Amino acid sequence: MGKNPSFSQVLPTVAIPIATVADMVAPQHFSAGALAISCLVFLLFQRRHIASGIKRTSLALALLTGVAVVMLDQPLAALEKGLRIGALIASLLISVSLMSKASLRVPHMRKVMSDLYAIPRGQRPLALGIGAQFLGGFLGLAGLTMMMDMAAQRDHLSSREKIADFSAISRGYAALALWSPMYSNMSIVLTMYEGIAWTDVLPYALTISVIFIGLGALIERLALTRDKTESTGAGSIADVLKDGIPIIGLMLCFLGFMMWAANLLNASISAIIIVSMPFIAWLLNVWKPSDVSQRWRSGGRQLRQDLLGQGAIAGEVLLFLVSGCAGTVISQVIPMSLIEPLAQLTSHSPMGASMLVMVAIVILSGTSIHPMLCAVLVGSSLTPTLLNLPPIAHLCAVLVGWGLAIIVTPFSVLSMMAARFSGMPVLTVSLRANLVFVAICLVGAAMILGWAI
């Protein structure tokens, strides 16, 4: 495309975040129409990047949605809701990816990860779980990709040690997805509940996240004791903290800025992320330019190049758009006569109701249904009212089920990525490595949600 892409070349990409924010500010039928057009134009321009498997899956979901939508009294409203969910993910992916690519050009990030993997094996799962909160929280999925890439380069480790490292990263994601606004999980789930803000969920999500990280570290510590393997490593947590404090400080400042801006403007935190990320990415590009002699121009040129490279996510955008529409439509055509008996079994027990929501999402994801579709489908069908469950508890249960489904199902992007980097079968690094962890987490999360909320 050339070294200096024009604005017209990146317009199909930037149109999605612009239309998304405009629709969030003033949601109307015409704004939803503009959103649909912007997504369609992007997919048409980037269709060559969409894998055939994703095309087939999306076509099947679209046909199923088309059959189901004619059964609804208000089909347009359901489709608009699904469209907004999918477009929100696409906008977050685009904005966060710009930030990620800019951050990856900072050499200090690689140094921090080298320090993480130099920690002795006995302490490494806890360090990786905590590190995923900051690297993944600041860099999005690119941060976790960097961690897996670094883990894959350690060829001298045994298979058991590699599984432990990759499991720690995956479990860190399960905790991270509960609270971080950098991922679509929280943003999508919040659209399903009126009157609940990210700050309302944060205390409960952080509590469950801490338990997830601690439990994962404990499981690996017990496994290490049984193996009676010497815990080797020349590094220490002090080394990680020394190099990582600037990154931790930046992330905390960034989260604080987003919360302040969201409250000041009375806007959703997702809108703040979508708007602010490209600007911060541009500042990072200016700070670490490819051409120091033309710092400002080079920073802008690099941002346009990064925007031009967003075609790689076209398949994900298509799948999320179709899944969002399918989830909202199908959930409304499921007969209440099938749902009510199931809900009545647990309607008198907040713990049981929370467990039902989480287990349903995890089990459905194991049948090759996309975890996002499972979360939207279960969250929209087994409603808080039907389960006699407080909305906050219901929201947290959907988040927990979604996060755990992603790490245990072999069909998720995270599991596929772990298998690719580790060189191990996908079932080994997903279902087998995390089944016990997920089962214990489901019980623990249900107890917390049943007692604390």
Tell me the average pLDDT across 136-158: 77
Q: Could you tell me the two tokens for 227?
A: 């193996």
> 249-263, 303-317, 393-407: which has the highest mean pLDDT?
393-407
Tell me the average pLDDT across 277-303: 82
pLDDT at residue number 106 = 77
pLDDT at residue number 7 = 58
pLDDT at residue number 4 = 61
pLDDT at residue number 353 = 92
Other CB atoms within 10 A of residue 48 CB: 7
3 state DSSP class of 19: helix
pLDDT at residue number 150 = 81
Residue 445 has pLDDT above 70, yes or no: yes
pLDDT at residue number 10 = 81
Confidence label for 346 from pLDDT (cuts 50, 70 and 90): confident
Other CB atoms within 10 A of residue 57 CB: 19
Taking CA atoms, 165 is separated from 260, 385, 430, in Å, by 36, 41, 13
pLDDT in tens, 205-217: 888 999 999 999 8
Measuring CA to CA, which residue among 130, 140, 108, 107 is closest to residue 237?
A: 130
Measuring CA to CA, which residue among 416, 407, 412, 420 is closest to residue 216?
A: 407
Confidence label for 113 from pLDDT (cuts 50, 70 and 90): confident
Residue 56 has pLDDT above 70, yes or no: yes
168 vs 263, higher pLDDT:
168
pLDDT at residue number 453 = 65
pLDDT in tens, 8-47: 678 888 899 999 999 998 888 899 999 999 999 999 988 8
Tell me the average pLDDT across 418-432: 85
Taking CA atoms, 82 is separated from 333, 380, 382, in Å, by 14, 12, 17
Residue 3 has pLDDT above 60, yes or no: no
Q: What angle do CA 335, 340, 342 make, to 5 degrees?
A: 115
Residue 288 has pLDDT above 80, yes or no: no
Measuring CA to CA, which residue among 337, 403, 350 is closest to residue 375?
A: 403
pLDDT at residue number 21 = 92
Confidence label for 2 from pLDDT (cuts 50, 70 and 90): very low
For the chain, give the mean pLDDT: 83
Residue 267 has pLDDT above 70, yes or no: yes
pLDDT in tens, 353-389: 999 999 999 998 876 677 877 888 888 888 898 898 9
3 state DSSP class of 430: helix
Ramachandran bin of 37, using left for φ above 0, alpha for ψ from -120 to 50, beta for the remaining angles? alpha
- What gap in Å lies between CA 216 and CA 13, rounded to an integer? 39
Q: Could you tell me the two tokens for 60?
A: 């099947």
Q: What share of the chain is helix, strand, coil (3-state, %, to 5)?
A: 80, 0, 20
241 vs 201, higher pLDDT:
201
pLDDT at residue number 1 = 42
Kindly state the helix (H) or strand (E) to which residue 419 belongs, with its residue range.
helix 413-422
pLDDT at residue number 230 = 52
392 vs 377, higher pLDDT:
392
Q: Answer yes or no: pTM beyond 0.75.
A: no
Q: Tokens 């690996």 identify what position?
A: 220
Percentage of the chain beyond pLDDT 70 is 93
